[in-house]
Amino acid sequence: MTRRSDRPRRRRFRIARIFGIAGLLVVAAIGLGLVYLLYPRPVLQSEPIAVETLYAQLESLQPVSAFDTIVEPRLRSVALFEEVGRVLQSPRCMNCHPATDRPTQTEAMWPHMPWVSRGLDGGGEANMRCTTCHQAQNAEASGVPGNAKWSLAPIEMAWQGKSLGDICRQLLDPARSHMTREELLHHMAEDDLVGWAWNPGGGRQPAPGTQDEFGALVAAWLETGAQCPQ
Ligand code: HEC
Ligand code: HEC
């Protein structure tokens, strides 16, 4: 009696033991798998990017000779203006050529703080002239930029929000530009208010290249027929 009732219990015990061992093995396998998956190992490194090279390209202008390989004069002229445009569309120029009556500031070109407005002559409202804060030269201690002619570009010369092609056509349009082509070249190549952009002070990023290189590109663009991008 006792032996017969003992037997199934022993078999159940054996089955339970087999399942128990199998279960333990499964749990152990999952555990080992997790350890393997989560174990920290070195991530593949990509080639380091030569940041200095990138910045150097951003900061310099290509010389006029770099465009000699473009045989077709119209295409060469457009390519020259695109290089000129890297200066025109830099924050240093754009901040003073806004689409509204209010200048913008910094690399991000956010609205000028405090609120100032062009006033009647571009030099600010009567009670808040630009020259109240902007002196004849950069104020190194405060970082406030300066030039004796500091004022806002006329609204016909607004560049912000325009394509480079539109800025180009605007420069050549007698209805909106105050300058002949010779005056335009002189202004870009020699004017010291434009030149401020290469010596902006206050830790600001200067416009790319130098004013001389910029002037040479503008001259070459005019000589090749002053063609505009689309
Ligand atoms: C109450 C003082 C004050 C007045 C008035 C003022 N500015 Fe400024 N402006 C500043 C200061 C300060 C900065 C520098 C802010 C900075 O770089 O973060 C500045 C920066 C600028 C910049 C940015 C330059 C750059 O590229 O980052 C422009 C452009 C500018 N002012 C134009 C004008 C014009 C145009 C007027 C007159 C219509 C004017 N400001 C009147 C104080 C003034
Ligand atoms: C502090 C403000 C200020 C900054 C910065 C500035 N400009 Fe101007 N810009 C002016 C004013 C003011 C005029 C109008 C000058 C005049 O009529 O004599 C002007 C006019 C011009 C014109 C004449 C446009 C036309 O259609 O007649 C050109 C070109 C020009 N700027 C180029 C530049 C370039 C390039 C830069 C940057 C390298 C620059 N400006 C930065 C204020 C500024």
DSSP string, 37-92: HHS--PPPPPPPP-HHHHHHHHHS---GGGGTT--SHHHHHHHHHHHHHHHHTSHH
- pLDDT tens track, the chain, 230 positions: 455 556 666 777 777 787 888 889 999 999 898 888 888 776 666 666 667 666 666 789 999 999 999 999 999 999 999 999 999 999 999 999 999 999 999 999 999 999 999 999 999 999 999 999 999 999 999 999 999 999 999 999 999 999 999 999 999 999 999 899 999 999 999 999 999 999 999 999 999 999 999 999 999 999 999 999 99
Pocket of ligand 2 (CB under 6 A): 87-88, 92-93, 96-97, 122, 150-151, 153-154, 157, 171, 177-179, 184, 187-188, 193-194, 196-197, 207
Q: What is the pLDDT of residue 40?
A: 79
Determine contact, residues 214/93, Cβ cutoff 8 Å: no
CB of 152 within 6 A of ligand 1: the answer is yes
Determine contact, residues 152/104, Cβ cutoff 8 Å: no
Q: What is the pLDDT of residue 112?
A: 97
Question: Which atom of ligand 2 lies at the shortest distance from residue 134's CA?
Answer: 1
Question: Which atom of ligand 1 lies at the shortest distance from residue 95's CA?
Answer: 29
pLDDT in tens, 54-65: 666 678 999 999
Q: Which ligand is nearest to the CA of 217?
A: 2
Q: Ligand 2: distance of its center to the CA of 224 in Å?
A: 23
Question: Which atom of ligand 1 lies at the shortest distance from residue 197's CA?
Answer: 26
- Indicate the pTM of the whole model: 0.83
Q: Ligand 2: distance of its center to the CA of 78 in Å?
A: 21
